Amino acid sequence: MATITRTSTRASVSLVSLARSSAIAGLVIGVLGGIDYLIFFRLTQHLGPIAVFQYIASGLLGPAAFAGGNATALLGFLIHFGISFVVAAVFILAASQLAFLRRTVFLSALVYGAAVNMFMSMLVLPYSAAPKMPVTTVLIVHGLIGDALIVGLPLAIIVWRDARASKVSLAV
């Protein structure tokens, strides 16, 4: 009968588990966030999917992104998912190291989602090359609540699920 020490099991499982969880969460956040953007900007700005993702690409390319057709829309799509994977990985890594985040995972993740929105709105967008959008109450409220739910809730569920799974696997 093979014996695996708790330390080596935890270390080997945690790297694979963190990567897997980050990938799943990034994908979920990217899909839900993309759908949210498409619906919100269709209803409020009358923008189609190409223009929504071109706007994201304009953060790097400036207004020229809107003349780039499908290529710049694809770039915006890839940027959107890249950001989603980074946002997911940061929280999942933090939760793996900070017991407080695991103990209060739902509240912590919802606050993190809103904080991501504030970070993007107050630091990233103003310093990007994207054209400035008018800031409205609807945009602010939607962003804070939307990202709390679309970013925070999937992260909370994944961290909670992983914490339960690791307790079961470590007990075996």
Helices 6-45 and 137-147 cross at an angle (nearest 10°) of: 150
> For the segment 95-120, what is each residue's pLDDT rounded down to a tens digit?
999 999 999 999 999 999 999 999 99
Rounded to 10 degrees, the C-alpha dihedral 123/56/34/44 comes to 90
> For the segment 9-35, what is each residue's pLDDT rounded down to a tens digit?
444 447 888 999 999 999 999 999 999
User: Residue 61: is its pLDDT beyond 50?
Assistant: yes
- Predicted TM-score (pTM) of this structure: 0.87
pLDDT at position 13 is 47
